[in-house]
Amino acid sequence: MKKMSHDQILCEKHASPMKIEVLGAYDWPIWKKEISTFPWTYAEQETCYFIRGKAIVTPDGGEPVEMGRGDLVTFPKGMSCTWEILKDVEKHYQLG
């Protein structure tokens, strides 16, 4: 398995419903957040599937990544970043 660097966000735009179903993403817990900007550090890898909303996540010292409804995103363990939520976000997530 390819190792991710601490500042690499993997964002699969409009992931296929079949892939989401195979991952079991619909059974993962849901996280919701209103429009806001805040810093965050990932203690462990997180994979999430956006049900709605739009956000830009910028790793410290890295390039911003825009994500939103239908996207499957993986954040690497140890990454520090800033979340800028442009439209209220609702996403399924899995840690580890």
Please give the model's pTM, rounded to 2 decimal places.
0.90
The answer to whether position 85 is within a domain reads: yes
Cα–Cα distance for residue pair 52/26, rounded to 1 Å: 13
Q: Which residues contact 50 (CB under 8 A, 6 or more apart)?
A: 67, 68, 69, 70, 71, 73, 89, 90, 91
Using one digit for the tens of pLDDT, what is the confidence trace for 63-74?
Answer: 999 999 999 999
The answer to whether position 79 is within a domain reads: yes
Domain count, the chain: 1
Cα–Cα distance for residue pair 1/38, rounded to 1 Å: 31
The answer to whether position 31 is within a domain reads: yes
Q: Residue 5: its pLDDT value, please?
A: 52
**pLDDT above 50 for 2:** no
Domain hosting residue 82, numbered range: 10-95
For residue 82, the domain's CATH number is 2.60.120.10
The answer to whether position 78 is within a domain reads: yes
Average pLDDT, integer, range 3-15: 79
The answer to whether position 3 is within a domain reads: no
The answer to whether position 5 is within a domain reads: no
| Residue type for position 10 | L
